[in-house]
Chains A and B, each alone.
Chain A
Amino acid sequence: MRPDLEIISDLIAPESRVLDLGCGSGALLFHLQAHKSVNGYGLEIDREQILECVAKGVNVIEQDLDEGLSHFSDDSFDFVVMTETLQAVKRPDQVIAEMLRIGREAIVTFPNFGHLACRLQIALKGRMPVTGHLPNQWYDTPNIHMCTFRDFEQFCREKGIPIRERFVVNNVYNNNWLINRLPNLFGITAYYRIGRA
Chain B
Amino acid sequence: MEAKDEAGFPQDSVGLVVPQRAGWDATFALKSGAQLPGYELVYETYGELNHAKSNAVLVCHALSGNHHAAGYHAGDSRPGWWETAIGPGKTIDTNRFFVVSPNNIGGCHGSTGPNSINPQTGKAWGTEFPQVTVEDWVASQAALADRLGIERFAAVIGGSLGGMQALYWAIEYPDRIAHAVAIASAPWLSAQNIAFNEIARHAIQTDPDFAGGSFLEAGKTPERGLMLARMLGHVTYLSGFGLGQRFGREVRRGDLSGRGPLEFEVESYLHYQGRNFAGKFDANSYVNITRVLDLFDLGAKHGGDLVRAFKDATCHFLVLAFSSDWRFSPERSKEIVDALVAARKGVVSAVIETEHGHDAFLLREPEAYHRLFRTYMDRVALDFA
A residues contacting B by CB (< 8 A) are: 17, 39, 41, 47, 50-51, 53-55, 57, 59-62, 71-73, 76
Contacts and interface: CB of A to CB of B under 8 A. Distances in A.
A54 B338 contact: no
Nearest to B373: A54
Nearest to A61: B349
A73 to B, nearest CB: 7
Interface of B: 334, 337-338, 341-342, 344, 346-351, 368, 371-372, 375-376, 378-379, 382
A72 B341 CA distance: 9
Contacts of A55: 375, 378-379
A62 B371 CA distance: 14
A51 B371 contact: yes
**Chain A, interface SS category:** mixed
Given A51-B372, A59-B348, A60-B348, 12 more contacts: A39-B344, A47-B368, A50-B348, A50-B372, A53-B348, A54-B348, A54-B372, A54-B375, A54-B376, A61-B348, A62-B349, A73-B342
A51 B378 CA distance: 11
A59 B378 CA distance: 15
Contact of B341 (A54, A61, A62): A61
9 contacts: A51-B375, A53-B348, A54-B379, A61-B341, A61-B348, A61-B350, A62-B349, A71-B338, A72-B341
Interface of B is mostly: helix
Nearest to A62: B350
Closest 4 pairs between A and B when the two form their complex, measured CB to CB: A62-B350, A54-B375, A61-B349, A51-B375
A115 to B, nearest CB: 37
B165 to A, nearest CB: 23
Contact of B334 (A53, A59, A71): A71
Contacts of B337: 61
A72 B167 CA distance: 21
B351 A59 contact: no
A115 B182 CA distance: 49
B379 A61 contact: no
A100 to B, nearest CB: 18
B196 to A, nearest CB: 26
A50 B334 CA distance: 17
A61 to B, nearest CB: 5
